[in-house]
Chain A
Amino acid sequence: AQSVTQLGSHVSVSEGALVLLRCNYSSSVPPYLFWYVQYPNQGLQLLLKYTSAATLVKGINGFEAEFKKSETSFHLTKPSAHMRDAAEYFCAVSDKNRDDKIIFGKGTRLHILP
């Protein structure tokens, strides 16, 4: 069975500092992996996705994530945080060989300190 673990339900970084949000997954087959962002009072928006092409994936708003099979990780990073990055971030995994469901992590709320 697939699962996703996001380390840290809240992460605080200073404006201009590196953002690192951690995600580990479990899947018995090669997965698709996603990061979604949710701004206050809005729905989820896709940030980026890994689909077995390049292991370093670039997304919107300067975010990127690296797929590391040996570590079963898909951590999200951004070199320099902006105030507008304050939101909740969800890592998700999909088993492309089985069905069309996505399993979401519990989310990490990112706080940006001025």
Chain B
Amino acid sequence: NAGVTQTPKFQVLKTGQSMTLQCAQDMNHNSMYWYRQDPGMGLRLIYYSASEGTTDKGEVPNGYNVSRLNKREFSLRLESAAPSQTSVYFCASSSHRALETYEQYFGPGTRLTVT
């Protein structure tokens, strides 16, 4: 049981390049999330998916797209990377079955630098 996995762990991009961050969970969770973490800003929600086939914008969606490929996988795409997207990206998942409490389980993160 690996929990939430993310690839890659590190990435350096040049401005204008594109890339996709991958996330997978093996806990049969319905909901998945993408956050970015910047110093002094805490975690800010980029996009989330309450169930397979649905996605919704979070607090900071501009410059990003997401795909909920199936129940396990939720990817984040940067179409044209900008230096402002230099950050640490975390994927998380949670269950919303009856009597559960919405706690989120986090992956190890992807450290992205855009030059």
- B binding-site residues for A, Cβ under 8 Å: 4, 31, 33, 40-43, 45, 48, 50, 58, 90, 92, 94, 96, 101-109
Contact = CB atoms under 8 A, between A and B. Distances in A.
Given A100-B94, A101-B48, A42 B42 contact: no
Interface stretch (A12-20, A66-74, A77-85, A104-112): A104-112
16 contacts: A32-B102, A42-B108, A42-B109, A43-B4, A43-B108, A44-B92, A44-B106, A46-B103, A49-B101, A90-B42, A90-B43, A96-B101, A100-B48, A100-B50, A102-B94, A106-B42
Nearest to A104: B43
Contact of A43 (B31, B33, B109): B109
Contact of B107 (A43, A51, A94, A102): A43
Nearest to B44: A104
A34 B106 CA distance: 14
Contacts of B45: 101
B40 A9 contact: yes
A71 to B, nearest CB: 22
A96 B102 contact: yes
A32 B94 CA distance: 14
Contact of A100 (B42, B102, B105): B102
Interface string A42-62: 111110010100000000000
Contact of B106 (A41, A45, A101): A45
B43 A51 contact: no
A36 B42 CA distance: 12
B40 to A, nearest CB: 7
B90 A100 contact: no
A51 B94 contact: no
Contacts of A105: 42
A5 to B, nearest CB: 11
A63 B54 CA distance: 37
A90 B58 CA distance: 19
B102 A102 contact: yes
A42 B107 CA distance: 8
Which 8 pairs across A and B sit closest by C-beta, in order of nearness? A43-B106, A106-B42, A44-B106, A104-B43, A94-B102, A51-B101, A43-B108, A100-B31
